[in-house]
Amino acid sequence: MNSSMNHYKEPAPILDKENPFESMMERFEIAAKIIGLDQGIYNYLKAPTKQVITSVPIVMDDGKLEVFEGYRVIHNDILGPSKGGIRYAPDVTLDEMKALAAWMTWKCAIVNIPFGGAKGGIKCDPSLMSQNELERLTRRFTSNMLDVFGPDRDIPAPDMNTNEQTMAWIMDTYSMHSKKTETAVVTGKPTLIGGSLGRKEATGRGVMTVALGALSKIGIKPENAVAAIQGFGNVGSITAHALYEKGVKVVALSDINGAIFNSNGFNIAELIEHVERHKTLIDYQNAEVISNEELLELQCDILIPAAKEDQITSKNAKKLKCKIIAEGANGPTTAKADPILQTKGILVIPDILTNAGGVTVSYFEWVQDRMGYFWTLDRVNRRLDRMMHEAFVNVYKSAAKYDVSLRIGAYIIAIEKVAQTLKLRGIYA
Ligand code: GLU
């Protein structure tokens, strides 16, 4: 690579579509243009390194054969083995995987861990499947991916509708083929089989760290802050609990069945127990049932979308009344909503920073597995807090240096890091 290469040319305008890959590329293009990214490197980063689509046949409990479609996209592995979750959902698409894989590349670069980015998924409805069917699906998918996964190649983790048990099945299937136990092939495993303390709570703890950082930037003390959180899965519930413990008043929460509101704030510990017993928060006492749209449009200090992509769009962005958005989910805001939020003066802490606590502790888990030496929870949390804080400070500095939003500041850090690494390593031919 040398400096005589072409400079980045402005791409054709993207239509007002709310496709996650296009949303990702729109931000990437803005950042690339600001730093004058070389056209060759732009092309290299735009195209995922590898995209696998595999057919996953399994025999269902009733004896019938069903065939599912599985995906794994490796966006880039120049910084190290690729890393990223695997999700099970009926609406999984290759484009979504491509966006999520690229976001993993940027996320790992921002928190400064030696991983590339990947994402996988299976198009299925896990709510309609038995544990045995899910186990067969996971094992067959893993066996199809034996030449993709590996502790030094590509390392999956939990994501939407997958969990510690799913990771245990992947680890076991891979290990059976390797003829030895390979704990480092996945992260987010149960602690009994090489998981890390604090991994399950890591994303939520990281969201809390950056949310408190953002509140302090605008001069609001946690005990005076009001939050609304969309989603009560692993990320939403742990974030809610972590903020509640810091004195933040969480006035609204939601799950797939709807949203609840109480202007006095919820006791999150009690709410978590309620959800364990009732499987939903919608029938919780002392709460007003509101719609998902109402939750997003509430007057509050901090709004935390911690559910899915494309929740804050060009259609509802103008109605938002929060001061800060901390993106717990991946891609909850579309690219078309960004300028609207900026004009309104809402401080957006981007997903690729906000939810990077999960992959950070995944990195700790991988390190511990390879050392065969396991850390205390206190050590995991201290290191996580430090790395999230450093990433937060760096994103702020980058945004100030280029006079851009925190999101574009974050993309710039990530793109520069990957581009510099590529220049050093060069292209093998
Ligand atoms: N699925 C999580 C994410 O989107 C975690 C990925 C990982 O730990 O590899 O960040």
Q: Which atom of ligand 1 is nearest to the CA of 199?
A: 8
Q: Which one-letter DSSP state was computed for residue 161? A: T
pLDDT tens-digit profile of 215-244? 999 999 999 999 999 999 999 999 999 999
The answer to whether residue 416 is domain-embedded is no
Q: Which atom of ligand 1 is nearest to the CA of 87?
A: 1
Sheet containing strand 65-76, strands side by side? 50-59, 65-76, 116-123, 82-89, 154-158
| 391 closest CA partner among 353, 363, 427 | 353
Q: Is the pLDDT of residue 211 over 60?
A: yes
The answer to whether residue 194 is domain-embedded is no
Q: Which atom of ligand 1 is nearest to the CA of 155?
A: 9
The answer to whether residue 150 is domain-embedded is yes
Q: Which protein residue's CA is at the shortest distance from atom 8 of ligand 1? A: 359
Ligand 1 centre distance from Cα of residue 158 (Å): 7
The answer to whether residue 40 is domain-embedded is no
Ligand 1 proximity of 102 Cβ (cutoff 6 Å): no
Residues 251 and 295 reside in one and the same domain: yes
Ligand 1 centre distance from Cα of residue 204 (Å): 12
The answer to whether residue 398 is domain-embedded is no
Whether 166 contacts 138, CB under 8 Å: yes
Ligand 1 centre distance from Cα of residue 330 (Å): 10
Residues 153 and 232 reside in one and the same domain: no
Q: Which one-letter DSSP state was computed for residue 314? A: T
Domain termination site, one of 315, 334, 354: 354
User: What pLDDT is attached to residue 191?
Assistant: 98
Residues 132 and 274 reside in one and the same domain: no
Rounded to an integer, what distance in angstroms lies between the CA atom of residue 110 and that of residue 411? Answer: 8
Q: What is the CATH number of the domain that holds 70?
A: 3.40.50.10860
pLDDT tens-digit profile of 298-330? 999 999 999 999 999 999 999 999 999 999 999
Catalytic residue selected from 83, 119, 336, 417: 119
Report residue 376's pLDDT band, with 50, 70 and 90 as the boundaries.
very high
pLDDT tens-digit profile of 58-95? 999 999 999 999 999 999 999 999 999 999 999 999 99
Provide the pairing of β-strand 299-305 with 288-290. unpaired
Ligand 1 proximity of 85 Cβ (cutoff 6 Å): yes
Report residue 21's pLDDT band, with 50, 70 and 90 as the boundaries.
confident
pLDDT tens-digit profile of 246-295? 999 999 999 999 999 999 999 999 999 999 999 999 999 989 999 999 99
Residues 219 and 170 reside in one and the same domain: no
User: What pLDDT is attached to residue 5?
Assistant: 38
Residues 209 and 348 reside in one and the same domain: yes
Amino acid (1-letter code) at residue 61: D
When pLDDT is averaged across residues 42-63 and rounded to a whole number, the result is: 97
Q: Is the pLDDT of residue 1 over 80?
A: no
Q: Is the pLDDT of residue 203 over 60?
A: yes
Mean residue pLDDT across the chain = 95
What domain count does the chain have?
2
Dihedral, 314, 318, 319, 324 alpha carbons, nearest 10: 100
Domain termination site, one of 354, 369, 398: 354
Q: Which atom of ligand 1 is nearest to the CA of 100?
A: 4
Maximal CA-CA distance, the chain: 66
Whether 102 contacts 90, CB under 8 Å: no
Q: Is the pLDDT of residue 2 over 80?
A: no
Domain termination site, one of 132, 152, 181: 181
Provide the pairing of β-strand 50-59 with 65-76. antiparallel
> Quick check: is 119 catalytic?
yes
The answer to whether residue 64 is domain-embedded is yes
Provide the token pair at 309.
Answer: 């992509």
The answer to whether residue 189 is domain-embedded is no
Provide the token pair at 259.
Answer: 């949203």
When pLDDT is averaged across residues 364-386 and rounded to a whole number, the result is: 98
Rounded to an integer, what distance in angstroms lies between the CA atom of residue 85 and that of residue 162? Answer: 9
Ligand 1 centre distance from Cα of residue 85 (Å): 5
When pLDDT is averaged across residues 98-118 and rounded to a whole number, the result is: 97
Report residue 20's pLDDT band, with 50, 70 and 90 as the boundaries.
confident
The answer to whether residue 156 is domain-embedded is yes
Residues 119 and 212 reside in one and the same domain: no
Report residue 343's pLDDT band, with 50, 70 and 90 as the boundaries.
very high
Ligand 1 centre distance from Cα of residue 263 (Å): 33
Whether 421 contacts 79, CB under 8 Å: yes
Residues 135 and 260 reside in one and the same domain: no
Residues 241 and 154 reside in one and the same domain: no
Ligand 1 proximity of 159 Cβ (cutoff 6 Å): yes
Q: How far is CA 47 from CA 12, 98, 172, 188, 198, in A?
A: 17, 9, 32, 28, 34
Q: DSSP letters of 247-300? A: T-EEEEEEETTEEEE-TT---HHHHHHHHHHHS-STT-SS-EEE-HHHHHT-EE
Ligand 1 proximity of 157 Cβ (cutoff 6 Å): yes
Residues 152 and 221 reside in one and the same domain: no
Q: Which atom of ligand 1 is nearest to the CA of 356?
A: 10
Residues 213 and 342 reside in one and the same domain: yes
Ligand 1 centre distance from Cα of residue 10 (Å): 31
The SS3 call for residue 397 is helix
pLDDT tens-digit profile of 132-172? 999 999 999 999 999 999 999 999 999 999 999 999 999 99
Rounded to an integer, what distance in angstroms lies between the CA atom of residue 90 and that of residue 122? Answer: 8
Residues 213 and 173 reside in one and the same domain: no
Let me know if 260 is exposed, middle or buried by CB neighbors in 10 A (0-12, 13-18, 19+).
buried
Let me know if 125 is exposed, middle or buried by CB neighbors in 10 A (0-12, 13-18, 19+).
exposed
Q: What is the CATH number of the domain that holds 247?
A: 3.40.50.720
Q: Of the residues 108, 166, 359, 363, which should be mutated to test ligand 1's pocket, given the most ligand atoms within 8 Å of the CB?
A: 359
Q: Is the pLDDT of residue 16 over 80?
A: no
- Domain range for 165: 48-181
User: What pLDDT is attached to residue 160?
Assistant: 93
Report residue 377's pLDDT band, with 50, 70 and 90 as the boundaries.
very high
Residues 169 and 90 reside in one and the same domain: yes
Report residue 17's pLDDT band, with 50, 70 and 90 as the boundaries.
very low
User: What pLDDT is attached to residue 15?
Assistant: 39
Report residue 429's pLDDT band, with 50, 70 and 90 as the boundaries.
confident
